[in-house]
Amino acid sequence: MEAEKKTASGSELRSQLILLIENHKAGSPIDPGVYWISLYPRQLSAMFYEKYGILVSNGIVKRLLKELGYRYRKPAKTLSTGIYVQRDAQFKIITGLLSLLCLQKKHPVISIDCKKKERLGLLSRPGKCLSTGERKVLDHDYEYLGEGKVIPHGIYDIYAQRGYISIGTYSETAEFIFDNLLWWWSDYGMHQYPDAESILVLCDSGGANSYRHHVFKYWMIEFAKQTGMSLVICHYPPYASKWNPIEHSLFCHVQRAAAGVVFDTYKTVVNVMANTSTSTGMKVIVRMNDKVYKTGEKIDKKRIEWSRIRPHPKIPELNYRISA
């Protein structure tokens, strides 16, 4: 059949396109109004010619797809992997504490977490960065090719808009968190908040700072004893770690600054993270912590000074005060 150039109107082409993609689309199991296709515009252009004998450009196909609601999108991580019954109640507790302390501002409010662990070496990393030439890395990313671990543990001071990152080289443990908090308080916190009597610590409910682990409470008691500061600890509900302020106030900016940078040495890692900043004035201070930590540490309940822990009357497992 000889190709026809103008044998169909816009509405006719749209109807023909709907028929073309009908057998190639898949639907979302949880949203009946969401569909996707694995065809490219050039493939659909060829299908127009094969089935209807009409020459349709890639640009027209793209415009028609846009009219039908099809755009390039990546999967959105918005579905929770689980449900915590008291989720809303916990958020109200955290919001209430933040509102109260925001009026005073003499007690520090910090958000803590460990950023995604990475490997040191000439290994590829996601993202792009400005470069005058090609950065060459190994053609495979096997774990044994790494030259070390990069374990960034962050502390974000909400009032001061300051991030403090310790680059660990061994493992993320409760003692690792303790050392990093002690570094922040001794070098910075105690000077910025000379009248403080307590610290509000916001953290996730899993990992090395899990509310289920006695070892975390043990090291937080040690911190309170050594610094003379009481701690008010609030864990974000399970499956809600993305609401931890450090995620969208510090780590997202660090990730942007380090995009496409090859972590060939620890010096490179420290420099790129320390250069993170925002237009609103957020700054980052970075240090290396190459201490070797014992993994799998178990703490007997008898070793914990329970008299120092005062649980919150509501959701006591996620909220408690540790006295100095």
In this predicted model, what pLDDT tens digit does every residue of 268-284 receive, in sequence order? Answer: 999 999 999 998 899 99
Of residues 92 and 34, more confidence is placed in 92
**C-alpha distances in Å from residue 306, one per residue of 200, 208, 310, 315:** 19, 20, 8, 17
What residues contact residue 140 under an 8 Å CB cut-off, 6+ apart?
none
Q: Is residue 243 domain-shared with residue 122, that is, in the same domain? A: yes
Q: Is residue 162 domain-shared with residue 20, that is, in the same domain? A: no
Q: Is residue 182 domain-shared with residue 310, that is, in the same domain? A: yes
Give the angle 75-78-82 at the CA atoms, nearest 5°: 125
Q: What is the pLDDT of residues 182-216, one digit of tens each?
A: 999 999 999 999 999 999 999 999 999 999 999 99
Name the residue among 167, 165, 186, 182 with its Cα closest to residue 220.
182
Where does the pLDDT of residue 103 fall: very low under 50, low under 70, confident under 90, or very high at 90 and above?
Answer: low
- φ, ψ of residue 124 to 5 degrees: the values are -70, 145
Q: Is residue 61 domain-shared with residue 127, that is, in the same domain? A: no
Q: Is residue 160 domain-shared with residue 299, that is, in the same domain? A: yes
Cα distance between residue 89 and residue 240, in whole Å: 13
Task: Collapse the DSSP code of 238 into the 3-class scheme (helix H, G, I; strand E, B; otherwise coil) and give the result.
Answer: coil
Question: Which pLDDT belongs to residue 25?
Answer: 82
Question: Which pLDDT belongs to residue 102?
Answer: 67
The percentage of the chain sitting over the pLDDT mark of 70, rounded to a whole number, equals 95
Mean pLDDT of all residues in 250-259: 94
Mean pLDDT of all residues in 119-136: 88
Q: Is residue 138 domain-shared with residue 184, that is, in the same domain? A: yes
What residues contact residue 277 under an 8 Å CB cut-off, 6+ apart?
253, 283, 284
Where does the pLDDT of residue 1 fall: very low under 50, low under 70, confident under 90, or very high at 90 and above?
Answer: very low
Q: Is residue 179 domain-shared with residue 314, that is, in the same domain? A: yes
- Residue 14: inside a domain: yes
Q: What is the pLDDT of residues 22-32, one digit of tens each?
A: 888 887 766 77
Place of tokens 């610290």: 199
Domain count for the chain, please give it.
2
- Residue 192: inside a domain: yes
Q: Is residue 61 domain-shared with residue 21, that is, in the same domain? A: yes
3-state SS, one letter per residue, for 119-177: EECCCCCCCCCCCCCCCCCCCCCCHHHCCEEEEEEEEEECCCCEEEEEEECCCCCHHHH
Ranked by mean pLDDT, which of 51-55, 142-146, 241-245 comes out on top? Answer: 241-245
Question: Which pLDDT belongs to residue 185?
Answer: 98
- Residue 145: inside a domain: yes
Q: What is the pLDDT of residues 73-100, one digit of tens each?
A: 888 777 767 788 899 999 999 999 988 8
| Statement: residue 308 has pLDDT above 70 | yes
Q: What is the pLDDT of residues 151-170, one digit of tens each?
A: 999 999 999 999 999 999 99
Mean pLDDT of all residues in 99-122: 88
Cα distance between residue 75 and residue 37, in whole Å: 14
List the domain range (segments joined by +) for residue 20.
Answer: 10-67
- Residue 271: inside a domain: yes
Task: Collapse the DSSP code of 203 into the 3-class scheme (helix H, G, I; strand E, B; otherwise coil) and give the result.
Answer: strand
Q: Is residue 163 domain-shared with residue 51, that is, in the same domain? A: no
DSSP string, 35-89: EEE---HHHHHHHHHHHH-B---HHHHHHHHHHTT----PPP--S-SS--TTHHH
* CA atoms lying within 13 Å on the CB side of residue 104: 16
Average per-residue pLDDT for the chain: 90
